[in-house]
Homo-oligomer: A and B are copies of this chain.
């Protein structure tokens, strides 16, 4: 059976302001040392498993040009532009009907475009394990991450260590982001993995589940499928997609479906959720600083400094994130990166959209 992939690239990633902007969200940024953007790395990572003409990108119309620039080998018709954001279930459904139109059935991997993976070969091996499980029956496979601390920003997945299929474990249930106390319980119990948002299944399996749990959505998707390759394709997409219920695949399907398996991934996953992630993914120097660009540091420790051509000089600093861009400079306490969104709120209120 053919392997295909849907890469989800509609996100905004405000947490990387001022480098990420409305017109250049996180997945299109180069945050690593290798000069490749997150989405380029995502496609590169699966190239041994999926032919490039079977890689689909789900994004937003305004990012189509960026996708074409950064991924010139992907056929234009594989860039699926959601007319409006409707969360992951409709997005995945849109990808599934496109693949179903092309192949009678196929393996479909669903991958976020803005995560990083350290051990690429291990990741590919895990995907191969997932494919083996997904090929059977209507199994849905998700990749889980072994939690290392009580993170409250991720969903968790409870699994059953006794019931296996290949290298996967049967999933008991999907749970939403917990509070700190519950996250600690999950961590200590050893029965939960983090939900990475990466899935592997047959197109036929996910569409059967969508038919069962989201019949209205499936109706709209079927109309879209009909129109693919016809003159009215765009018109139908525009009309039908906006009417689809905005819901995540976790809530719409995974929390209800049966035959779900999880494979714990040990491939060095990082969701690169904020500027703080940069020191995990880039080299730090002897003072604990992660520095790029034209920078002089004096008595400066544990800082993340992303300079450009302009000289950034620091004296007597600790634990800061400093990011310079053409028109804006951010100076932020590492413990306050969650508040960067307040800058954006402030800019919106003041109608200074040029910085957003």
The stretch among A60-68, A147-155, A172-180, A311-319 that forms the contact with chain B is A311-319
Q: Tell me, in angstroms, the Cα distance from A313 to B352 when the chains sit together.
A: 13
Q: Are B316 and A339 in contact (CB under 8 A)?
A: yes
Q: Tell me, in angstroms, the Cα distance from A343 to B311 when the chains sit together.
A: 11
Size category, A interface: 20 to 34
Q: Tell me, in angstroms, the Cα distance from A299 to B341 when the chains sit together.
A: 13
Q: Tell me, in angstroms, the Cα distance from A311 to B18 when the chains sit together.
A: 10
Chain copies in complex: 2
Mask: chain A, 323-344; 1 = CB below 8 Å from B; 0 = not: 0100111111101110110110
Interface residues of A in 181-229 (CB under 8 A from B): none
Residues in chain B near residue A1, CB distance under 8 A:
none
Q: Is A320 an interface residue (CB 8 A)?
A: yes
Residues in chain B near residue A333, CB distance under 8 A:
315-317
Contact of A299 among B298, B316, B336 (CB under 8 A): B336
A218 to chain B, nearest CB (A): 44
Contact of A329 among B316, B324, B336 (CB under 8 A): B324
Q: Tell me, in angstroms, the Cα distance from A343 to B296 when the chains sit together.
A: 7
Q: Is A277 an interface residue (CB 8 A)?
A: no
User: A296-B346, A298-B342, A343-B296 given as contacts; is B312 within 8 A of A329 (CB)?
Assistant: yes
Q: Tell me, in angstroms, the Cα distance from A315 to B331 when the chains sit together.
A: 6
Which 5 A/B pairs are nearest by Cβ-Cβ distance? A316-B336, A316-B333, A311-B328, A315-B332, A313-B343
